[in-house]
């Protein structure tokens, strides 16, 4: 068959016979630039990666007009000689690729496409001076046209100036967003790359405003700075190993979350990536403890043997292919879940009040000699307040009157039947009291009061004030107990009077049948029915009269979208089971507005410390807050 094909002209009358021709180099570069340089953020990413690969210990990034008008990236790396400058702006010229098999890649860049792509779409100027040289050299590329290097004055290192981005490809330029939006994308890129090299100082200026100024620091400090988190937020370190892979990093507790996934930073072998496998694993790990629609805050570093990951997937180099996606997913989910399964207050998980409340009304006493009437006292007497568990909590009382009677530090909830979960209060009162303890073994401290019959006030060993939502806290405790009961072994199944037949594509049918043993543990009994159909014989009794057809189809869709997932990770099944357990826990927990005895309050605190995921309720809301001395001083304007 000929390489040529007959075509009809646009008029439809005269057949034409096109000829294959070689495109000019400048057009080839502009086409390639469309893949590599999609927007200003992509250009900045490439320039910063070049600087990092050059051994920079300090980076200065400056943008005007969101990077479209001008971007300047200056580093103190090794620099380039005139001959290197000439080659650097040619396609597929690089000093970084030492392994022609594209397996052991130890640099962020390696394709040799960034600088020629930028030069084809913008006005590019590179000034560089190697160590030991008396002067610098500059080379310019404008719309694909290269000018020879010329000697100039310059400091050691390299400074790259990009102006009028996409002036040579105006079709691409008109699709850009506003300068503010493009600037936000650049900031996101800078933050991700800054995490990859904490030993390198970063300074980022956007339209004359300093956005970042990070000194060289260790990974923990860099992650905390980029995530805007601290130990007070319960910053947790994670560490996991599986099949030669290592996962480390830092995460925030479920009480710290964002409306988008911008607070998730992920590195694979030191390379910032936006990988769907890792993002899905993080979402699954947090699913039971975070509020729906919110996103966790994490900074994760995954180390994978080079032969088990392919980084040469896309010119942007932010996408990867893992040889064993299931193992990567399992490592991330397992490591994060272990870190999140601590009890409330354990391992530094300490939610804090994020902002100071504003007083709606401040009363000042009248000055001496004035006849102004005295307003009602800001704090009524204890007899007027029904929400105080300590009836003698008055300013004139002795300090001993401000604490509740001592209780046993080891006190825990007694066992309760499902039919009488509300008997918690009566049973807890039967435990004999001993001396209260708010030491290190009890990070939530000792209860001192109950406010509005809803919130427990406690004091920790370091003097910090702890506030607990009694209903939310007991809801999580009940939830975990019920979930262990239902899912510890085998979920009770309810056989259908008339089995349902679900018709599915062959691929989805195979996915469900391959997971038949796990589905049976979750109360779903299926079998192959032939002709691309599945017979559903039983569903979890907890779900009542659920639609078996829609449930199986939803589950099959989720498994097809994520072939490495398991049924107990899918929202269509496990999410529904968990929702039923959450409703049961909510109705079976102590309610807001119920007065608790001192024994009950301290028993609740001790059980929270011993129960996994007790930092949030079944709906993802925080169960407790902590106000340290610094927090209180900020609230009162002392700092």
pLDDT tens digit string along 164-173?
998 887 877 8
Whole-number percent of the chain with pLDDT over 70: 68
Shared-domain flag, residues 138 and 266: no
Question: How many other CB atoms are there within 10 angstroms of residue 492's CB atom?
Answer: 11
Shared-domain flag, residues 445 and 580: no
Dist. CA 56–CA 79, nearest whole Å: 10
Shared-domain flag, residues 388 and 465: yes
- Total-model pTM: 0.65
- Given a cut of 60, is residue 154 above it in pLDDT? yes
Question: Quick one: average pLDDT of 295-320?
Answer: 82
Do 129 and 136 form a contact (C-beta atoms < 8 A)? yes
Shared-domain flag, residues 582 and 595: no
Question: Quick one: average pLDDT of 405-409?
Answer: 45
Residue the block writes with tokens 């000792």 = 446
Shared-domain flag, residues 196 and 289: no
> Tens digit of pLDDT for each residue in 556-614?
777 777 666 666 666 656 666 666 566 656 665 677 778 888 888 888 888 888 888 88
Q: What is the CATH classification number for the domain harbouring 68?
A: 3.30.565.10
For residue 383, what pLDDT band results from cuts at 50, 70 and 90? very low
Shared-domain flag, residues 312 and 194: no
Shared-domain flag, residues 58 and 195: yes
Assess if residue 351 is contained within a domain.
Answer: no
Dist. CA 250–CA 297, nearest whole Å: 9
| Boundary of a domain, candidates 285, 312, 340 | 340
Q: Quick one: tokens of 613?
A: 């995921």
Give the domain range for residue 469: 382-483+590-635
Output the average pLDDT for the chain: 75
Assess if residue 108 is contained within a domain.
Answer: yes
> Tens digit of pLDDT for each residue in 64-74?
999 999 999 99
Q: Which of 30, 87, 77 is nearest to 49 (CA)?
A: 77
Dist. CA 356–CA 364, nearest whole Å: 21
> Tens digit of pLDDT for each residue in 466-497?
999 988 888 888 777 767 766 666 667 788 88
Residues with Cβ within 8 Å of residue 145, at least 6 apart in sequence = 26
Q: What is the dihedral of CA 73, 74, 78, 80, to 10 degrees?
A: 70
- Given a cut of 80, is residue 138 above it in pLDDT? yes
Facing residues of 62 across strands? Answer: 72, 205
Assess if residue 368 is contained within a domain.
Answer: no
Per-residue model confidence (pLDDT) at position 56: 92
Ranking 123-132, 239-248, 371-380 by mean pLDDT, the lowest is 371-380
635 or 375, greater pLDDT: 635
Question: Quick one: average pLDDT of 135-162?
Answer: 92
- Count structural domains, the chain: 4
Strand order in the sheet with 525-528: 493-503, 533-540, 525-528
403 or 402, greater pLDDT: 403
Per-residue model confidence (pLDDT) at position 399: 38
Q: Quick one: tokens of 236?
A: 């947790």
For residue 260, what pLDDT band results from cuts at 50, 70 and 90? confident
Shared-domain flag, residues 616 and 467: yes
- Given a cut of 60, is residue 379 above it in pLDDT? no
Check residue 4 and report its DSSP letter: -
Question: How many other CB atoms are there within 10 angstroms of residue 338's CB atom?
Answer: 14
Assess if residue 370 is contained within a domain.
Answer: no
Per-residue model confidence (pLDDT) at position 332: 93
Q: Quick one: tokens of 99?
A: 């392994």
Per-residue model confidence (pLDDT) at position 581: 66
547 or 145, greater pLDDT: 145
Question: What's the residue count for the chain?
Answer: 639
Q: What is the CATH classification number for the domain harbouring 415?
A: 3.30.1540.20
Assess if residue 129 is contained within a domain.
Answer: yes
DSSP H stretches of helix in 460-515: 470-487, 506-514
> Tens digit of pLDDT for each residue in 274-292?
888 899 899 888 887 887 7
Q: What is the CATH classification number for the domain harbouring 537?
A: 3.30.1370.100
| Boundary of a domain, candidates 167, 183, 214 | 214
- Given a cut of 60, is residue 317 above it in pLDDT? yes
> Tens digit of pLDDT for each residue in 339-353?
887 767 654 444 544
Shared-domain flag, residues 33 and 135: yes
Q: Which of 441, 488, 479 is nearest to 461 (CA)?
A: 441
Assess if residue 242 is contained within a domain.
Answer: yes
Shared-domain flag, residues 404 and 443: yes
Per-residue model confidence (pLDDT) at position 587: 61
Q: What is the CATH classification number for the domain harbouring 296?
A: 3.30.230.10
Residues with Cβ within 8 Å of residue 344, at least 6 apart in sequence = 443, 444, 473, 608, 609, 611, 614, 615, 623, 624
- Given a cut of 70, is residue 273 above it in pLDDT? yes
Assess if residue 291 is contained within a domain.
Answer: yes
| Boundary of a domain, candidates 193, 214, 235 | 214
For residue 338, what pLDDT band results from cuts at 50, 70 and 90? confident
**564: Cα within 13 Å, side-chain hemisphere:** 18
Ranking 246-250, 329-333, 544-548 by mean pLDDT, the lowest is 544-548
Per-residue model confidence (pLDDT) at position 596: 83
Shared-domain flag, residues 245 and 323: yes
Per-residue model confidence (pLDDT) at position 420: 34
Shared-domain flag, residues 47 and 128: yes
Assess if residue 278 is contained within a domain.
Answer: yes
> Tens digit of pLDDT for each residue in 195-253?
999 999 999 999 999 999 999 999 988 998 888 766 545 678 899 999 889 999 999 88
Q: Quick one: tokens of 604?
A: 């609740």
- Given a cut of 50, is residue 1 above it in pLDDT? no
């Amino acid at each position: 068959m000929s390489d040529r094909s007959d075509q009809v002209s646009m008029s439809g009358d005269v057949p034409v016979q096109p000829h294959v021709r070689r495109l000019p180099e400048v057009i080839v570069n502009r086409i390639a630039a469309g893949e590599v340089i999609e927007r200003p953020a992509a250009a900045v990413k490439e320039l910063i990666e070049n600087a990092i690969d050059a051994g920079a210990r300090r980076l200065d990034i400056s943008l005007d007009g969101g990077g479209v008008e001008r971007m300047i990236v200056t580093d103190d790396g090794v620099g380039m000689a005139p001959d290197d400058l000439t080659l650097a702006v040619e396609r597929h010229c690089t000093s970084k690729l030492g392994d022609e098999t594209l397996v052991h890649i130890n640099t962020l860049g390696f394709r040799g496409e960034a600088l020629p792509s930028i030069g084809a779409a913008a006005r590019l100027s590179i000034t560089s001076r190697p160590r030991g040289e008396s002067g610098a050299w500059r080379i310019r590329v404008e719309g694909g046209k290269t000018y020879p290097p010329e000697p100039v004055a310059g400091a050691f290192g390299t400074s790259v100036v990009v102006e009028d981005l996409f002036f040579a490809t105006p079709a691409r330029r008109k699709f850009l967003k506003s300068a503010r939006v493009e600037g936000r994308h650049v900031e996101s890129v800078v933050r991700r790359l800054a995490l990859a090299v904490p030993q390198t100082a970063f300074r980022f200026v956007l339209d004359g405003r300093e956005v970042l100024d990070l000194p060289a620091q260790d990974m923990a400090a860099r992650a905390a700075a980029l995530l805007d988190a601290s130990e007070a937020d319960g910053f947790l370190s994670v560490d996991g190993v599986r099949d030669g892979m290592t996962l480390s990093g830092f995460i925030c507790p479920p009480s710290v979350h964002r409306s988008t996934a911008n607070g998730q930073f992920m590195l694979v072998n030191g390379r910032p990536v936006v990988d769907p496998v890792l993002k899905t694993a993080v979402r699954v790990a947090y699913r039971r403890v975070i509020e729906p629609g919110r996103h966790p805050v994490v900074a994760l570093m995954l180390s994978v043997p080079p032969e088990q990951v392919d980084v040469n997937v896309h010119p942007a180099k932010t996408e990867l292919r893992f040889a064993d996606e299931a193992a990567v997913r399992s490592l991330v989910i397992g490591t994060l879940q272990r870190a999140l399964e601590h009890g409330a207050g354990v391992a530094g998980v300490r939610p804090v009040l994020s902002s100071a409340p504003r007083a709606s009304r401040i009363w000042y006493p009248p000055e001496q000699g004035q006849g102004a009437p005295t307003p009602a006292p800001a704090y009524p007497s204890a007899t007027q307040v029904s929400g105080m568990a300590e009836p003698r909590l008055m300013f004139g009382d002795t300090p001993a009157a401000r604490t509740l009677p001592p209780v046993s530090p080891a006190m825990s909830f007694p066992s309760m039947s499902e039919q009488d979960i509300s008997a918690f209060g009566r049973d807890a009162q039967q435990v004999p009291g001993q001396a209260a303890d708010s030491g290190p073994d009890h990070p939530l401290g000792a209860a001192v009061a109950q406010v509005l019959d809803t919130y427990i006030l406690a004091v920790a060993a370091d003097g910090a004030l702890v506030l607990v939502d009694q209903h939310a806290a007991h809801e999580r405790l009940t939830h975990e107990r019920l979930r262990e009961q239902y899912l510890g072994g085998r979920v009770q199944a309810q056989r259908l009077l008339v089995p349902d037949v679900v018709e599915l594509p062959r691929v989805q049918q195979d996915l469900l049948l391959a997971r038949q043993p796990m589905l049976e543990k979750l109360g779903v009994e299926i079998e192959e029915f032939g002709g691309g159909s599945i017979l559903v014989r039983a569903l979890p009794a907890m779900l009542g009269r659920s639609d078996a057809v829609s449930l199986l189809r939803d589950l099959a869709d989720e498994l097809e979208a994520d072939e490495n997932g398991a049924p107990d990770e899918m929202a269509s099944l496990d999410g529904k089971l968990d929702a039923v357990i959450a409703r049961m826990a909510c109705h079976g927990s102590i309610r807001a507005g119920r007065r608790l005895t001192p024994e009950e309050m301290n028993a609740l605190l001790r059980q929270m410390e011993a129960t996994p995921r007790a930092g949030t309720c079944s709906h993802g809301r925080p169960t407790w807050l902590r106000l340290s001395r610094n927090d209180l001083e900020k609230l009162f304007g002392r700092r």
